[in-house]
């Protein structure tokens, strides 16, 4: 299912946090959103998972306008893994993962056998099955991130919206999560701060600066030294990854010379 942001604008207290953002996420593709702190990435994502109503502009899920869909329907189609206080009560890991079935639920009916198997499989895929009986609040940041992605997957969404899903993960779990994203075949809109991870996993990348889309396209077209310097104020050299050929950014630290 395609996800389309069309002229999305969010104004708060007279300030545009997101300004006329248009971005297509074609069905089954991974589109990354990058940009400096405060550039509006999370705000844009919030409009997609309906935590925020845009001031103007439209989000389309396939041909449907998101705002026309009943909440329960859009909750079945879009799963989000975000920075917002996702879990505040000390549920066990298996309870949190099972909450992913809520939009499909029939009142308080217990999970079906298929749903229980789905939860077990997701916990195994995210390497959290051994934590099933632990309380979510006692987990490390990375463990919790993996649990929340397992919950998002058992929702069986068509679209995944992820806000910095790797920021707490060790390098092995970063690679595994990104490989998983590629393997699940869902439509994915993901905010990433690590530009090399974005280059490795995204089919397309959109660059936000002060709420506006500066450029969007294939990683090699977007992650240029000029754009990185303009948007982030950082000097980079961009080289092809020796195995995958995707762009890799090598950052230059300003050289501090000792005073004579």
Ligand X SMILES: Nc1ncnc2c1ncn2[C@@H]1O[C@H](COP(=O)(O)OP(=O)(O)OP(=O)(O)O)[C@@H](O)[C@H]1O
- Given candidates 21, 23, 32, 39, which one binds ligand X under the rule CB under 6 A? 39
Is residue 84 close enough to count as binding ligand X by CB under 6 A? no
Nearer Cβ to ligand X (37/259): 37
Q: How far apart (Å, rounded) are the C-alpha atoms in residues 150 and 237?
A: 36
Binding region for ligand X (CB under 6 A) out of 31-39, 134-142, 152-160, 250-258:
31-39
User: 259 Cβ partners below 8 Å, 6+ apart?
Assistant: none
The residue within the footprint of ligand X, chosen from 3, 5, 17, 123 (CB under 6 A), is 17
DSSP conformation class of 30:
E
Q: Binding residue for ligand X (CB under 6 A) from 41, 101, 146, 151?
A: 41
Among 19, 23, 32, 43, which residue interacts with ligand X (rule: CB under 6 A)? 43
Judged by CB under 6 A, does residue 108 bind ligand X? Answer: no
Around Cβ 7, how many Cβ atoms within 10 Å?
Answer: 12
Q: Is 49 near ligand X (CB under 6 A)?
A: no
38 binds ligand X, rule: CB under 6 A = yes
The Cα–Cα gap between 36 and 81 comes to: 20
Contact in structure between 128 and 153 (CB atoms under 8 Å): no
Nearest to 101 by CA among 124, 126, 125, 119: 119
Least distance CB 58 / ligand X (angstroms): 19
Measured from the CB atom, the residue of 5 and 119 that comes closer to ligand X is: 5
Measured between alpha carbons, how far is residue 100 from residues 111, 115, 147, 212 in Å? 11, 10, 11, 33
Q: Which residues bind ligand X (CB under 6 A)?
A: 12, 17, 35, 37-43
């Amino acid at each position: 299912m395609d996800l389309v942001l069309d002229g999305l604008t969010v104004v708060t207290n007279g300030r545009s946090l997101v300004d006329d953002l248009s971005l297509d996420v074609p069905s089954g593709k991974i589109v990354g959103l990058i940009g400096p702190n405060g550039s509006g990435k999370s705000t844009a994502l919030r409009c997609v998972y309906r935590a925020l109503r845009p001031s103007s502009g439209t989000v389309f899920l396939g041909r449907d306008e998101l705002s026309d869909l009943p909440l329960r329907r859009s909750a079945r189609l879009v799963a989000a893994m975000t920075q917002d206080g996702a879990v505040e009560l000390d549920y066990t890991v298996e309870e949190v993962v099972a909450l992913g079935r809520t939009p499909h639920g029939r009142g308080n009916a217990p999970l079906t056998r298929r749903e229980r198997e789905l939860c077990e499989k997701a916990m195994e895929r995210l390497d959290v099955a051994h934590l099933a009986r632990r309380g979510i609040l006692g987990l490390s940041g990375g463990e919790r991130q993996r649990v929340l992605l397992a919950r998002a997957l058992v929702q069986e969404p068509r679209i995944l919206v992820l806000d910095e899903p790797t920021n707490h993960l060790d390098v092995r779990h970063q690679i595994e999560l990104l490989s998983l994203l590629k393997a699940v075949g869902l439509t994915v809109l993901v905010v990433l701060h690590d530009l090399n991870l974005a280059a490795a996993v995204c089919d397309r990348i959109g660059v936000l600066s002060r709420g506006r889309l500066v450029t969007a396209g294939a990683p090699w077209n977007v992650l240029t030294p000029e754009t990185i310097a303009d948007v982030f104020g950082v000097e980079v050299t961009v080289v092809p990854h020796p195995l995958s050929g995707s762009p890799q950014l090598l950052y230059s630290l300003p050289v501090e010379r000792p005073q004579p």
